[in-house]
C-alpha cells in the first residue's frame, strides 16, 4: 500500500466552473507554468437546489464482431445526486454531492485466444473486469462578515477494481486494486477594499493505492516462439497465455 496521487474523482454535479489557461495566468495562480486547469466546486446559497440522475448502459445493447470469441462490451450504472441550500440565510450554506459508479467491461478475445487459454488451463471460463467507485463532496460556506468568508470541504473517493487483465491472461494472473481516500481543505478569504483580497488555504491529502493479487505463483508465460541466446532458450513473439500471480 502506498500514498500516491492516483487521481481525484468528483461527482459531476459538484463542478460549478472549469477554466483552462494556456498562458498569461492570473495572479492567483501562484507560480503557474505552462497550461493550467482550474476547477471551482459548487456551493450552497439562499435558494435550496438539488439534482438527481442516473446513467445506464445495458450489456444486451452491445453487439459483437468476434464470432466464437468474447467482445469488449460494457454495462454501466451511474446514479448521482446533489443538494444545497441555506442553514442560516445570508450567512451559512451547505452543499453535498455523491455519485456511485459500477462498470463491467468485457475483454476482447478471439476464438483462437480462447482455445489457447483452454488448452493450457482446462476449465478456463471467460471473465470480465469490474469497477466499483464512490465519489463524494461535502462543503460548508460561512460568510462571517461582509469581508470575511470561510469555506470547509471534504472530498472522498474510493475505487475498487477486479479482474483487470489482458486477453491472454487467466483470471489468477489478472489484478485487482483499491485506491482513493479523503481530501480535507479549508479556505479563508478576506476582502480589503475593492481591489485586494487575501486567501489563506490549508488541506490534508490522503489517497492510497493498493494492488490486489488474485492468484498464486509462480507466474508462467507461454510465447508463440522461442530464440536461443548463449545456449539458453527465451520466449519470443506474442504471448499466448499468462498464468499465475504476476507479482
Cα torsion for 30, 32, 37, 43, to the nearest 10°?
0
pLDDT per residue as tens digits for the range 70-115: 998 999 999 999 999 999 999 999 999 999 999 999 999 999 999 9
Nearest residue to 217 via CA among 242, 238, 240: 242
pLDDT per residue as tens digits for the range 51-68: 999 999 998 888 888 888
Q: Supply the DSSP string of 76-140, one letter for each residue.
A: EEEEEEEEEEEEETTTEEEEEEEEEEEEEEEPPB-HHHHHHHHHHSTT----EEEEEEEEEEEEE
pLDDT per residue as tens digits for the range 145-176: 999 999 999 999 999 999 888 889 988 888 88
Residue 12 in this model has a pLDDT that exceeds 80: yes
Q: Supply the DSSP string of 149-182, one letter for each residue.
A: EEEEEEEEEEEEEEEE--TTB-GGGSEEEEEEEE
User: How large is the average pLDDT for residues 230-245?
Assistant: 87
| pTM for the structure as a whole | 0.84
Distances (CA, A) of 204 to 142, 181, 207: 20, 11, 10
Residue 218 in this model has a pLDDT that exceeds 60: yes
Q: Supply the DSSP string of 19-64, one letter for each residue.
A: EEESSS--GGG-S--S-EEEEEE----SS-EEEEEEEEE-GGG---
**Top-confidence residue, 22 or 231:** 231
Phi, psi of 22 (to 5 degrees): -75, -25
Amino acid at each position: 500500500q502506498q500514498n500516491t496521487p492516483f487521481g481525484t474523482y468528483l461527482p459531476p454535479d459538484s463542478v460549478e466552473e472549469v477554466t483552462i489557461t494556456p498562458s498569461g495566468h492570473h495572479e492567483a495562480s501562484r507560480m503557474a507554468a505552462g497550461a493550467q486547469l482550474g476547477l471551482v466546486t459548487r456551493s450552497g446559497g439562499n435558494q435550496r437546489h438539488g439534482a438527481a440522475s442516473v446513467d445506464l448502459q445495458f450489456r444486451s445493447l452491445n453487439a459483437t464482431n468476434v464470432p466464437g470469441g468474447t467482445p469488449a462490451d460494457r454495462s454501466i450504472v451511474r446514479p448521482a445526486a446533489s443538494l444545497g441550500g441555506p442553514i442560516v440565510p445570508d450567512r451559512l450554506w451547505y452543499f453535498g454531492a455523491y455519485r456511485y459508479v459500477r462498470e463491467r467491461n468485457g475483454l476482447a478475445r478471439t476464438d483462437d485466444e480462447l482455445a489457447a487459454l483452454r488448452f493450457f488451463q482446462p476449465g478456463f471460463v471467460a471473465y470480465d473486469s469490474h469497477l466499483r467507485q464512490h465519489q463524494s463532496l461535502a462543503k460548508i460556506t460561512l460568510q462571517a462578515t461582509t469581508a470575511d468568508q470561510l469555506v470547509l470541504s471534504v472530498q472522498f473517493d474510493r475505487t475498487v477494481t477486479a479482474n483487470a487483465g489482458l486477453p491472454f491472461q487467466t483470471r489468477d494472473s489478472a489484478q485487482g486494486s483499491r485506491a482513493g481516500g479523503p481530501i480535507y481543505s479549508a479556505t479563508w478569504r478576506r476582502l480589503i477594499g475593492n481591489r485586494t483580497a487575501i486567501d489563506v488555504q490549508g488541506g490534508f491529502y490522503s489517497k492510497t493505492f493498493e494492488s490486489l493479487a488474485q492468484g498464486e505463483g509462480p507466474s508462467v508465460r507461454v510465447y508463440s516462439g522461442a530464440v536461443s541466446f548463449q545456449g539458453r532458450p527465451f520466449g519470443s513473439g506474442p504471448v499466448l497465455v499468462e498464468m499465475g500471480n504476476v507479482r
